[in-house]
């Protein structure tokens, strides 16, 4: 047997008996993770149904936008947690040391929370405002930092057109902690 034939037999054996079964297990694991994520997305829709029906008195585009925003955060968090768990199990299948995985996840999590602390605060406050259905575009808002009309509400901040026609972008964390007065302007509604 020549060295090339010996190497080829070993490569085929490694591929057949080590790599392909592990890749198959990993693919099966990721398929199961995807199915669990789909099931949990349906559960989130059922659990958040009372919050989803609040905005139905508005026009259809605003109601659909609000429903998508309310469902987005729990779905993203669920997918991230399931992705980390599936990645951990996939690395275990391929023999990566647990200590390296653990330290990698801990360092990545600490960096994410440290670097994005204000973004996460804005996102949490914006989600609370969205769930409470406090602000919609067209509302008159009176707050310590100004008075005007809400032009746009995003997951992180509110665009407020002040009475002197200047645009003020207010992060949700500032808006959530401040006493505000909201005057809802009646909009045209579509009856279903």
pLDDT, mean of residues 172-176: 82
Residue 46 makes CB contacts below 8 A (sequence gap 6+) with none
What is the reported pLDDT for 57? 67
Cβ contact 148:161 at 8 Å = yes
Cβ contact 149:138 at 8 Å = yes
Query: What percentage of the chain carries pLDDT values higher than 70?
Result: 88
Domain 140-183 has what CATH class?
Answer: mainly beta
- For the chain, the domains span 3-115, 140-183
What is the reported pLDDT for 15? 64
Q: CA torsion, points 114, 118, 120, 121, in degrees to nearest 10?
A: 130
pLDDT in tens, 25-63: 899 999 999 999 999 999 999 998 888 777 666 777 777
pTM: 0.72
The segment with the largest mean pLDDT, out of 30-39, 64-73, 143-152, is: 30-39
Four-residue CA torsion sign, 55, 59, 62, 67 = positive
- Spatial distance between the Cα atoms of 131 and 134, rounded to a whole number of angstroms: 8
Give 111's pLDDT tier (boundaries 50, 70, 90).
very high
- Spatial distance between the Cα atoms of 2 and 5, rounded to a whole number of angstroms: 5
What is the reported pLDDT for 186? 61
Relative orientation angle of helices 98-115 and 60-93, to the nearest 10 degrees:
150
């Amino acid at each position: 047997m020549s060295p090339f034939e010996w190497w080829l037999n070993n490569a085929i054996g490694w591929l057949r008996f080590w790599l392909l079964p592990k890749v198959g297990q990993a693919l099966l694991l990721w398929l199961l993770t995807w199915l669990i994520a789909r099931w949990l997305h349906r559960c989130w829709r059922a659990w958040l149904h009372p919050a989803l029906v609040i905005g139905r008195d508005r026009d259809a585009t605003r109601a659909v936008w609000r429903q998508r925003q309310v469902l987005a955060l729990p779905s993203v968090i669920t997918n991230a947690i399931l992705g980390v768990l599936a990645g951990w199990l996939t690395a275990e299948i391929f023999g990566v040391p647990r200590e390296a995985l653990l330290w990698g996840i801990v360092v990545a999590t600490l960096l994410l929370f440290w670097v994005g602390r204000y973004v996460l605060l804005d996102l949490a406050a914006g989600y609370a405002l969205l769930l409470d259905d406090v602000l919609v575009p067209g509302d008159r808002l009176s707050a310590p930092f100004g008075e005007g009309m809400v032009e746009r509400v995003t997951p992180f901040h509110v665009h407020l057109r002040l009475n002197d026609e200047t645009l003020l972008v207010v992060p949700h964390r500032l808006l959530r902690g401040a006493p505000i007065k909201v005057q809802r302007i009646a909009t045209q509604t579509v009856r279903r």
